[in-house]
Amino acid sequence: MKKIVIACWYRNASILPYTLKALTKHVPQYRTEVVMAGENEPWCTSIRRFCRVTSEPFLLMLEDYITVDADAQLLEMAWDRAKDYGCVRLLPCPGSEDTAAEFGPIHPEERYSVSLQASIWQPDALLSVTEDGKTAWDAEIGGMRRYAANPTYRTVCTNRNAISYDNAMRGLKILPDVLAKAEAML
C-alpha cells in the first residue's frame, strides 16, 4: 500500500494534528505514518531507522507542511515513476531541465537537487543522502554532494505541483496565521 511518512521533530509535535487532518482531507487514499525524531535522536537517525525496515517507496512530508491541494492523477503518475528513480519531487523547485514533459530530470548538482520538500523516495536513496546524528538541513546540504557522486540514484520532478502546501514554520517559529488558516479549512 502506498504510504505517506511524516518526519516530525519532537519540538514541532503541536503542528502534527493539522498536518494529519490536511493530508486526510486531500490525499485520503494513502496510509499515513509518523516518524518522530526525539530530543536524543536527531532527525536523520530517525528517518534512517525507518528506511532500514521498509523496502517500498514512500512520500516524505515534514510536519510543518500543511497540505492545501493535491492532484490525484499527477500523484499516481509520480508513484509509477518512483520505481525507476531514487526520488520523485512533487514540486518543481528547482525545476526540471526539461519543461516540455509532465516530469523531467533535475541535474544532480543543481542547488537543492536534494530537498526534503514533498517527494517520493526509494528508501535506499534517502539512506544515501542522510547520515546518522545529522539534521534535516544537513541532509539537504551535504546530501546533494553524496547524491551527485552516486550514479545509482537520480531525481525527477513534476513540472507542476502534484501536492501543494503552506509551510507552518519560518525558521524555528510556528506561524499562527497558517495554523488558523488550516483550522478554518479543515
Residue 93: the pLDDT is 80
Cα–Cα distance measured from residue 108 to residue 147, given in angstroms and rounded to the nearest whole number? 7
DSSP tag of 114: S
Residues 163 and 90 sit within 8 Å (Cβ to Cβ): yes
What residue ranges define each of the domains in the chain, with the CATH number in brackets?
Answer: 3-185 (3.90.550.10)
Residue 146: the pLDDT is 79
Express each pLDDT in 24-48 by its tens digit: 999 999 999 999 998 889 999 999 9
Residue 74: the pLDDT is 95
Residue 79: the pLDDT is 95
Angle at 118 between CA 134 and CA 110, to 5 degrees: 70
Cα–Cα distance measured from residue 86 to residue 90, given in angstroms and rounded to the nearest whole number? 13
Q: Determine which helix (DSSP H) or strand (DSSP E) holds 48, and give its type and residue range.
A: helix 43-52
- Which residue matches cell numbers 514533459? 101
Task: For the chain, give the mean pLDDT.
Answer: 88
Q: Which three cell numbers stand for residue 71?
A: 492532484
Question: Higher model confidence: residue 98 or residue 49?
Answer: 49
DSSP tag of 136: H
> Strand pairing of 119-121 and 163-167?
unpaired
If one counts every other C-beta atom within 10 angstroms of the C-beta of residue 51, the result is 22
Express each pLDDT in 50-78 by its tens digit: 999 999 999 999 998 899 999 999 999 99
